[in-house]
């Protein structure tokens, strides 16, 4: 995980008093860092494969939770690895409680290919905003780097 992604999540969590709330982390496999230390409440880490940081193996586009299950959904540096991201984003919305928060980071155009285990996509802030709004989210912020390859950062509510 990039330091900027960790810092973005941490800033949104503290600014919105989310640290003690239950969180669903989608794409929780710990390749190079984790956001778990930011949260003090119940934390469910979901990923497509077993490994460090993974509590539940499942597909992100078919989440095994009832509607409105979590007050916080977080996905850090995962969407670029999601073969069916257009199905995953509505699933994030479905499991998020009304008034809940989504915090998302993903690769911006120009970020080098990296496999964990696969690498499919790159996104602009306009693409992420459009995908989130289409799923029903209210986008509070979606920003991309001023220059160079980096992540797109988004914060939205249901």
Q: In CATH, which of 3.40.30.10, 3.40.50.150, 3.30.565.10, 1.20.210.10 is domain 3-73+85-102+120-149?
A: 3.40.50.150
pLDDT tens track for 2-13: 788 899 999 999
Q: Give the whole-angstrom CA distance, residue 36 versus residue 76.
A: 11
User: Which residues are CB-contacts of 14 (< 8 A; sequence separation ≥ 6)?
Assistant: none
Q: Tell me if 96 sits within 8 A of 70, measured CB to CB.
A: yes
- Tell me the domain boundaries of the chain: 3-73+85-102+120-149
pLDDT tens track for 99-126: 999 999 998 887 778 777 788 889 999 9
């Amino acid at each position: 995980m990039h330091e900027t992604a960790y810092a973005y999540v941490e800033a949104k969590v503290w600014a919105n008093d989310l640290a003690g709330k239950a969180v669903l982390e989608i794409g929780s496999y710990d390749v190079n860092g984790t956001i778990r230390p930011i949260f003090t409440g119940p934390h469910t880490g979901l990923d497509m494969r077993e490994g460090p940081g993974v509590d539940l193996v499942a597909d992100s586009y078919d989440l095994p939770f009832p509607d409105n299950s979590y007050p916080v959904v977080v996905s850090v540096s995962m969407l670029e690895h999601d073969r069916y991201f257009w199905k995953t984003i509505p699933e994030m919305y479905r499991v998020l409680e009304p008034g809940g928060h989504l915090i998302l980071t993903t690769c911006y155009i120009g970020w080098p290919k990296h496999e964990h285990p696969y690498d499919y996509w790159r996104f602009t802030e306009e693409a992420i905003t459009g995908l989130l709004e289409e799923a029903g989210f209210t986008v509070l912020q979606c920003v991309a780097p001023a220059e160079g390859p980096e992540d797109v950062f988004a914060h939205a509510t249901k």
